[in-house]
A and B are shown apart, each in its own frame.
Chain A
Amino acid sequence: MISLSWVLCALSIAPLNDGVLELRLEGPLEVVSLDGVRVPTRVLAELAPAETLTVRVPWLPVDPDADPELRRVEGAGSARVEAVLSAPALAPEALSRRPLPRPVETPARVPAVGWWVFLGGLFAVLAARRRPMAAALIGAVFGAGLWALPQAEPERPVVAVLEVGTFGAWWVYVGAGELEPPAAAVLELETSPLGASWEWIVDARDPSLLRRLAQASEATALVARSPGPAEVRLGLTANGFKDLDELWRRSPAGEWTRHGSWDVGEPLPLALEGGLLPTWLRSGASPGADVWVGRLREAPEAAQEAWVRVILPAKN
């Protein structure tokens, strides 16, 4: 049920630029949205009467001098702004010049349970082979059962790349249509194509699994950037960062070499033959720079695939 618009203005809160709102919600309440923001923002909750919840919500106001405005969409409870916190730091300009990762969607596939039911069907049909019509009927039953199995979803991996340069280290996350950026990410995400519409959804229906999702159409790539580790050390003598499944290096002379997997603490493995480096990882480095590109064995929580790309001016 959509109730009439109901606006609550936060009192005694100094106007700020982009920030994070700390909201106090009281049930019964299901959906609250923010008004006067550049990016539509919704908070989903399932609060029973007298139940309360405090959540943090990204706030991207159209007018930086305006107060936060809340609109209760579903539910008769209340919502109020407890505090306005400062937004995470903006990413350095140089970071946006690096080519973005390209997540490749994996189409839906038959799940394991589907294959097991299928094999069961084959065995059942063959077991009934001396009863001609029974075998066909059993096949029909298994066929109908397979048709009705719950659908598998296509996998749309989020690709993360740790960009390291003179600006420090920053994680760049790219997801197609949906992204759950880390808490420290810049609030207003970049989109590809530029200017595509997207929205913030804070899913607090299960308070123990609070999720902050950015959603757009499937054709839109959402890009989040957040500060990375303070130090990433990759050198000829040792891997001082993390285990890598694959590593490529471009010398200041411009020669690419592939080194395979590289574990922490090990010296740089010898160059190997073959192996293709994704195009987006090859580009973006100026001539003469020292480039290290590796695929991480373990991706950070928000991504399914992760890379590290170090581009530093050559040491003389």
Chain B
Amino acid sequence: MEIQEPGVQPEVSKGRPPLLCLLSLAVSVTLLLPVPGIEASLGASPRLAWCALVWVATLSLPQAERGSARWSVGLGLGLCVLGLAAHLDRSRGVEVDALWAIAWPALLFAVLLAGAASKAQKTGTATRHALLWLLLLPGAPLISHALTSWGGAPPPGWLEFLAELSPLSWLAGCAAGDAPLPWLPLGVAVLLFTSAASAPETASEETT
């Protein structure tokens, strides 16, 4: 049972996962189905990395100020999917060491970035968090990729460096079969979390 403080505006705590998590669930489970088209396009790339990419992207999204969903329920659903993806990869011959090298950073990304989004909502730093998220997670890798693919010119060095910092970029690299070091992206996740958590809380309940 949850107790509301007298005088505090009651918030609806439905305990449901964010709706985007249900969409991620559908997308990531589809990646694990024995559909010839999907198997052909993904090839031998680790499904764990693909599913982690989908879930980290979803769980890290900046949260609405008056949302009532619980990110931790979404995290629970995501962990089930990641376990299933890891099982499939093991059966396909991916070494446990290689899977573990993807799994532990992915888990830390999921926890830290989801926690950062939740904390930012509670501490009133949602706007700052959203800007940092936009710049460091999808922004830099997407702009860098766009410049490389369609711009006809190599992106500036600082932008390439910024793109490499993104946890999403790191997971995409794992899905493509690269094995980059996760330390810089982990630093970004920690930065986002501490930036959100260091501000004083303005609400007492997790209502993301």
Contacts and interface: CB of A to CB of B under 8 A. Distances in A.
B15 A118 contact: no
A149 interface: yes
A145 B83 contact: yes
A110 interface: yes
B34 A109 contact: yes
Q: Is the interface of A mostly helix, strand, loop or mixed?
A: helix
A128 B84 contact: no
B34 A146 contact: no
A144 B87 CA distance: 9
A114 B32 CA distance: 12
Contacts of B16: 129
Contacts of B206: 132
B79 A142 contact: yes
Contacts of A153: 91
Given A110-B87, A114-B87, A151-B90, A146 B70 contact: no
Interface in B45-88: 70, 72-73, 75-84, 86-88
Contact of B76 (A114, A128, A130): A128
Contacts of A154: 91-92
Contacts of A107: 34, 39, 92
B143 to A, nearest CB: 33
A229 B93 CA distance: 40
Contacts of A128: 73, 76
Contacts of B84: 110, 114, 118, 143, 146
Interface stretch (A70-78, A119-127, A205-213): A119-127
Interface in B169-208: 206
Given A122-B80, A125-B80, A142-B79, A132 B87 contact: no
21 contacts: A108-B92, A109-B91, A110-B91, A118-B83, A121-B80, A125-B77, A126-B17, A128-B73, A129-B16, A129-B73, A132-B15, A132-B70, A132-B72, A132-B73, A135-B73, A140-B79, A142-B79, A142-B80, A143-B84, A152-B91, A153-B91
Given A107-B39, A108-B91, A146-B84, 11 more contacts: A107-B34, A108-B88, A114-B87, A118-B84, A132-B72, A135-B75, A136-B76, A138-B76, A139-B78, A146-B86, A147-B83
Interface of A: 107-110, 114, 118, 121-122, 125-126, 128-130, 132-133, 135-140, 142-147, 149, 151-154
